[in-house]
Amino acid sequence: MGTFILVFYLSILILMSIYGINRYYTIYLFKKHRHDIITPLSEFKKLPRVTIQLPIFNEKYVVERLIEYVVKIRYPRELLEIQVLDDSTDETCEIAKKKCKEKKNEGYNIKYIHRENRIGFKAGALENGMNLTKGEFIAIFDADFLPPADFLERTIHFFTDSKVGMIQARWDHVNRRYSLLTECQSILLDGHFMIEHTARNRSGRFFNFNGTAGIWRKETIIDAGGWQHDTLTEDLDLSYRAQLKGWNFIYMPDLTVPAELPIEMTAFKSQQFRWAKGSIQTFLKLKGKILKADIPFKVKLEAFFHIGANFMYALMFLLTVLMPVILVIRFERGYKHLAFLDVPIFVCATLSVFMFYFYTEYIVIKETLSVQNRSTTKPLVYLPFVVAIGIGLCINNSKAVIEAVIRKQSPFNRTPKYNVSDGGNNSVSERVKHLFDNVYRTRKLDWVTIIEFILAIYMSYAVYFTFKNDLFLSLPLIALFQIGFFYTSMLSILQMPFALFSSRK
């Protein structure tokens, strides 16, 4: 039995190492192509009509800010239409309607569109809005985004190339320094937007529209089959269908659109659940089309690494369960047993994560406009917590993967935002007020959090075992698992009273 467990454990590590090697290769592609410059073929002699879509659902804290930023986008008013696609069921409706009326009176072509149902969720709202517009190009911004005034000026002329179907800007974060949680989230997203997107796009591989901060050619959406709502990541699904149709996408890492990161663990986990489940749904939906597509093998391979990456969380869960058992087995058989495998597996499976995000922050700090808002070394201190949080999410995201595989349907749960930023008063009292003074908080303890807490205690035993038996080489890795599960579970539990006793109902 001990031998079987060891073999199973090593098989998991080898699979995870394959993903780790891909991380190193992604860094290589980024370094090779990061200085590639993409410019428009020409400029429109006559500017086309553009529609800006703002899909919202119960966003009373941020909808006014969103509209204020969008109307400042520079573009001829007679060629620009703004659609507020509101599926809200609370007072957001009146707030948004009033703001739209105010801006319409100021001369902006802004339309408030409210659906009585949420059929298709966000994808349904976008589809409904597209059917009501004559715009040739459609820009999309979620409720918490703050688009720059020159967004259209810097993107529209790329569409003079008739093969270009979508342009994606890079996300930045208005509340990056708000808390440890937001710092870690920003690093995780920096890796995706700075390294992965650039590497994939510039090397000729597929990448995806991220649901917001991008602009589409309307013809591309229609040609690819339109917005479909059989996955929770309609943006990823449409992106791959469009690129499989032959449309080219462009990523602009130098064009940043700030947004608000979730400030509470429950909201963060809900967001990660949706992204994980949706990506696996997309994987299962499109895997056959990708395999049969007339595209280079390197594009197919990276596509599977990309949209299938969340299977890693299921492997991480199995690894968590087995790790303390393996510690005991290896200690009883002699700690150096199979030690010849430890170094290569560590380099591929574990060190690759640290190296990936270390390099990410080096690039973000040294070579982008974000440098004025960040210290040079502080973000690097957060790297162990970034890895620990990634581990702590494995129960939440494994559940998402399982639900996708067994075809269990679930609603599109949007991530609540509260109009917070790094500027202003972010004292302890102010943060407590943010937790109390809202109506969108999760108000129940779920079984995922309970399992996370149980695993935290389980890994505490592993930490004790390694310390007691002088297995100090294993201690740092075991401690990351312990910290990750304690952090995700305890922060969820500690924030729960704020939801239960909120003064707002």
Q: Which residues are catalytic?
A: 87, 235
Q: Locate 333 and state its tokens.
A: 């058989």
**146 and 69 in contact (C-beta within 8 Å)?**
yes
Q: Rounded CA gap, 309 and 301, in Å?
A: 12
**352 and 23 in contact (C-beta within 8 Å)?**
yes
Q: Locate 492 and state its tokens.
A: 């969820």
Q: Rounded CA gap, 26 and 153, in Å?
A: 31
Q: Rounded CA gap, 483 and 479, in Å?
A: 6
**109 and 81 in contact (C-beta within 8 Å)?**
yes
- CA geometry: angle at 461 spanning 460 and 462, to 5°? 90
Residues in the chain: 505
Helices (H), 106-178: 121-130, 151-155
**217 and 155 in contact (C-beta within 8 Å)?**
no
**175 and 103 in contact (C-beta within 8 Å)?**
no
**364 and 198 in contact (C-beta within 8 Å)?**
no
Q: Rounded CA gap, 189 and 370, in Å?
A: 14
Q: Rounded CA gap, 253 and 413, in Å?
A: 28
DSSP string, 172-221: EETTTTS-HHHHHHHHHHHIIIIIIHHHHHHTT------SSSEEEEHHHH
Q: Rounded CA gap, 220 and 456, in Å?
A: 47
Q: Are strands 164-173 and 137-140 parallel, antiparallel or unpaired?
A: unpaired
CA–centroid distance for 226 within its chain: 22
Q: Are strands 248-259 and 214-217 parallel, antiparallel or unpaired?
A: unpaired
**175 and 261 in contact (C-beta within 8 Å)?**
yes
Nearest to 497, CA basis, from 271, 269, 273, 266: 266
Q: Rounded CA gap, 316 and 302, in Å?
A: 21
**244 and 282 in contact (C-beta within 8 Å)?**
no
Q: Rounded CA gap, 227 and 239, in Å?
A: 10
Phi, psi (rounded to 5 degrees) for 378? -55, -45
